[in-house]
Amino acid sequence: MNQKGSGAVTRQTLRYYWSVTRKHWPWALGDLISSLAFTFFLSYLNPYLIGLIVDRVSEGPTQPDQLWTAFGPVVAALVLSNVLGQVGSKLQDYFCAKLEIRASYDLTNLAFDTLSNQSMTFYNNRFGGSLVSQVQRFVGGYSTLCDCVTYSVIAIASSACFTIVMLAGLVPVYVCVLLVLMAVYVLVVYRLYSRILPANAVAAAANNRLSGQLSDSITNILAVKTSGREDYERGRFTQASQEVADADGRRMRANIRCGAATSSIIVVIMACCTVFLAGGNTWFGVAPGTLVMMFTYTNSLTMQFNRLSSMFQTLNRALGDAYDMTQALGEPLLVADEPDAKGLTVTRGAIDFAGVGFHYPDAPDDDKVFDGFDLSIPAGQRVGLVGRSGSGKTTLTTLLLRLADLQEGTIAIDGQDVRGVRQASVRRQIAYVPQEPLLFHRSIYDNIAYGRPEAAPEEVLRAAEKANALEFIEKLPEGFDTMVGERGVKLSGGQRQRIAIARAILMDAPILVLDEATSALDSESERLIQEALATLMTGRTSIVVAHRLSTVASLDRIVVLQDGRIVEDGPHAELVAAGGPYEQLWDRQTGAFLEG
């Protein structure tokens, strides 16, 4: 991994994290103040008060009747210091937790909003499970970073400052030596651990790939089992798991080497402290209580410095975990709305493809699916798109839905260029039923109502009835409350498709796009669904993509595509009589004719 590129991603991660921290600054400020109070009262004021007691004791015995006069104020101050320190500790936990909760909420929304606005090309190149893992690691990285700053960074920085301030006036020579050693320590730690950051990013990426591999295997478990490929998938998973182990091993060895170097500097610091403790009174006349303070403060500081090594490990791990998601958040939106884009208004539903030129983003510019493509569909017309696989049928509907943006020409609905309006408004005007039904792991009712969430229950029921789905739904033990499983796996293919069609019926959009929508149905269900779709298509502009020509034979018009070009265009009977490509396709599907 390029170290320069890794640094840029890390800085971007920190910008994301800082933006949410700044938004919730009162909690961050409370966290800082309470952390400083906790460290000062328990680690610095306490030893200072103990030093006063030691100095008083070293002056000679104290009479019993003078005991409270001599030590009472210091003891009271010591008790108060501990009370304030413990209060600071609990407030530190509270403010830190509140900050993490609120910031994590914002970061989760940021990731969700960004990912949900990405194009299908973005998702086609990534594992869904890996993206889930990346979001979790990105958000978890903030919590890890916040804990690290609260319980390590602030403690270490404040310990260094308090040590210098408390001892500067008492033993200036010692403080100067300590400052030099601390500067050397921080510089060495920073340089060593900045080199480990790429290793952390590599390890996080390996973990994300492992999550993606696991998700891919589980999602397609039926294919794995029916192919008897459990051992093959186990091999792929083992390889991905081994990559994680190797990456973690390299990161661990690098951390240990860095830790060994920093520990050596700690030994030097404590050695200097010991020399000053032994000769401080003789050389500089340092009081016994001050010697106690010197040792206590230095020992506390070195203990904090010992945590500096693990702190950098934690910081590196957190930033490495966030690496992949930060890159994803920085991906340009291949399909983006104009800043002043308005909603699409459909009054008729006329569709015009004019001079359309399109190639997929990951394909060469000259490898075009469409080049100067023209097609006009009048409002209310029912059009079938047919042709061999790869002819551009589904791509055409993808462009209409703005799941991808064309590079040349225009696609207009009622004269409005779809690239000039909000893409969500385009999709709300188009009821889309794909070949593979898009169902959530929710109830049947929720899946149908997804087309129009505000619909009344009786409208949902009517939509199910029109889609020929009501009969099988009512036979289920839980009826409309039946959970369909991930992607609808608890239903048959035909049942899933009928649920998807019911959703489109409920949506009641002026434009209808069916992409092999009846391909999963048996003959009887197809006949009933065709009747429902015929009613649904009445008065609506409809585009039907089909391989089974019986699906489109009764439509107003059939457009035959070949290599992104229109080779035939007309009604079914006219095209059959013409003896061209459509007639050849029709002959291959004997007995598939559906009377219109």
- Mean pLDDT comparison of 255-264, 299-308, 392-401, highest-scoring range: 392-401
Query: Which stretches does DSSP call E strand in 228-347?
Result: none
**Greatest Cα pair distance in the chain:** 124
Confidence check: pLDDT of 309 > 70 = no
**H/E segment holding residue 569:** strand 565-570
Whether 591 and 542 share a structural domain? yes
Return the minimum-mean-pLDDT range out of 42-51, 54-63, 111-120, 464-473.
Answer: 54-63
Confidence check: pLDDT of 342 > 60 = yes
Residue scoring higher pLDDT (42 or 121): 42
- Give the pLDDT of residue 50: 78
Nearest-5° Cα angle at 421, 565 to 560: 15
Alpha carbon 99 to chain centroid, angstroms:
20
- 25 within domain boundaries: yes
421, burial (CB in 10 Å: exposed 0-12, middle 13-18, buried 19+): buried
Between the alpha carbon of residue 405 and those of residues 21, 339, 347, 398, the distances in Å are 36, 16, 23, 9
Confidence check: pLDDT of 103 > 70 = yes
According to DSSP, the β-strands at 541-545 and 557-562 are unpaired
**Measured in Å, how far apart are the chain's first and last C-alpha atoms?**
61
Confidence check: pLDDT of 595 > 60 = no
Sign of CA dihedral 233, 239, 243, 248: positive
What are the two backbone dihedrals, phi and then psi, of residue 368, each rounded to the nearest 5 degrees?
-95, 140
Cβ atoms within 10 Å of 86's Cβ, excluding its own: 13
Residue scoring higher pLDDT (139 or 533): 139
CATH of the domain at 94: 1.20.1560.10
Whether 294 and 372 share a structural domain? no
Look over the chain and give the mean of its residue pLDDT values, rounded to a whole number. 82
Question: What is the signed CA dihedral for 207, 208, 211, 213, rounded to 10 degrees?
Answer: -100
Cβ atoms within 10 Å of 432's Cβ, excluding its own: 23
Q: What is the pTM of this model?
A: 0.68
CATH of the domain at 349: 3.40.50.300
Whether 364 and 275 share a structural domain? no
Cβ atoms within 10 Å of 404's Cβ, excluding its own: 18
Rounded average pLDDT over 415-437: 88
- Give the pLDDT of residue 95: 95
Nearest-5° Cα angle at 365, 360 to 371: 80
Whether 252 and 373 share a structural domain? no
Q: What is the spatial distance between Cα 211 and Cα 218, in angstroms, rounded to a whole number? A: 11
Confidence at 47, pLDDT banded by 50, 70, 90:
confident
* Structure-token pair, residue 288: 């016994």
Q: What is the spatial distance between Cα 348 and Cα 315, in angstroms, rounded to a whole number? A: 58
Question: What is the signed CA dihedral for 148, 154, 160, 163, rounded to 10 degrees?
Answer: -130
Q: What proportion of the chain, given as a percentage, has pLDDT over 90? A: 22
Return the minimum-mean-pLDDT range out of 33-37, 361-365, 411-415, 568-572.
Answer: 361-365
Residue scoring higher pLDDT (311 or 101): 101
- Give the pLDDT of residue 219: 67
**H/E segment holding residue 387:** none
* Structure-token pair, residue 530: 């065709």
What are the two backbone dihedrals, phi and then psi, of residue 291, each rounded to the nearest 5 degrees?
-65, -40
Whether 216 and 363 share a structural domain? no
> Which of 265, 256, 258 shows the shortest CA–CA distance to 192?
258
Confidence at 132, pLDDT banded by 50, 70, 90:
confident
Contact at 8 Å (CB) between 196 and 251?
yes
Sign of CA dihedral 304, 306, 309, 315: negative
Question: What is the signed CA dihedral for 139, 140, 141, 146, rounded to 10 degrees?
Answer: 100
Question: What is the signed CA dihedral for 16, 18, 23, 25, rounded to 10 degrees?
Answer: 160
Whether 493 and 557 share a structural domain? no
What are the two backbone dihedrals, phi and then psi, of residue 195, each rounded to the nearest 5 degrees?
-75, -20
* Structure-token pair, residue 133: 């893992």
The tens digit of pLDDT for each residue in 219-228 reads 677 677 666 7
- 232 within domain boundaries: yes
Rounded average pLDDT over 486-508: 83
- Give the pLDDT of residue 594: 42
- Give the pLDDT of residue 596: 38
Confidence check: pLDDT of 502 > 80 = yes
Residue scoring higher pLDDT (136 or 295): 136
Rounded average pLDDT over 245-268: 76
Q: What is the spatial distance between Cα 463 and Cα 291, in angstroms, rounded to a whole number? A: 85
Q: What is the spatial distance between Cα 409 and Cα 358, in angstroms, rounded to a whole number? A: 9
Contact at 8 Å (CB) between 236 and 356?
no
Rounded average pLDDT over 486-491: 77
Rounded average pLDDT over 246-274: 75
Residue scoring higher pLDDT (504 or 4): 504
Final residue before a domain boundary, out of 498, 518, 535: 498
Alpha carbon 559 to chain centroid, angstroms:
41
Final residue before a domain boundary, out of 298, 328, 358: 328
- 389 within domain boundaries: yes
DSSP string covering 280-308: HHHHH---HHHHHHHHHHHHHHHHHHHHH
Residues making up the chain, counted from first to last: 596
Contact at 8 Å (CB) between 349 and 513?
no
The tens digit of pLDDT for each residue in 532-585 reads 677 778 788 999 998 878 778 889 999 999 988 999 999 999 998 888 888 888
> Which of 96, 104, 100, 130 shows the shortest CA–CA distance to 115?
130
Whether 343 and 323 share a structural domain? no
487-493: long-range pairs with CB below 8 Å, 24+: 487/439, 487/441, 488/437, 488/439, 488/447, 491/439, 493/437, 493/520, 493/521
505, burial (CB in 10 Å: exposed 0-12, middle 13-18, buried 19+): buried
The tens digit of pLDDT for each residue in 343-384 reads 898 989 999 999 999 988 777 767 788 999 999 999 999 999
Whether 113 and 176 share a structural domain? yes
- Give the pLDDT of residue 331: 81
Whether 13 and 109 share a structural domain? yes
- Give the pLDDT of residue 377: 93
* Structure-token pair, residue 108: 């989760």
Q: What is the spatial distance between Cα 2 and Cα 195, in angstroms, rounded to a whole number? A: 11
Contact at 8 Å (CB) between 503 and 475?
no
Contact at 8 Å (CB) between 196 and 258?
yes
DSSP state of 366: T
Confidence at 67, pLDDT banded by 50, 70, 90:
low
Confidence check: pLDDT of 24 > 80 = yes
The tens digit of pLDDT for each residue in 521-530 reads 666 666 766 7
Range of the domain at 324: 3-328
Q: What is the spatial distance between Cα 326 and Cα 10, in angstroms, rounded to a whole number? A: 8
- 550 within domain boundaries: yes
Whether 137 and 246 share a structural domain? yes
Contact at 8 Å (CB) between 380 and 414?
no
- 245 within domain boundaries: yes
Q: Three-state SS for 390?
A: coil
Final residue before a domain boundary, out of 293, 328, 363: 328
Whether 421 and 492 share a structural domain? no
- 503 within domain boundaries: no
- Give the pLDDT of residue 389: 81
Q: What is the spatial distance between Cα 296 and Cα 522, in angstroms, rounded to a whole number? A: 82
- Give the pLDDT of residue 560: 93
- 504 within domain boundaries: no
- Give the pLDDT of residue 280: 60
As for how many domains the chain has, the answer is 3
- 249 within domain boundaries: yes
> Which of 45, 56, 36, 37 shows the shortest CA–CA distance to 78?
45
DSSP string covering 106-171: HHHHHHHHHHHTS-HHHHHTS-HHHHHHHHHHHHHHHHHHHHHIIIIIHHHHHHHHHHHHHHHTT-
- Give the pLDDT of residue 1: 47
Sheet holding 351-358, edge to edge: 370-377, 351-358, 408-413, 416-417
Whether 210 and 323 share a structural domain? yes
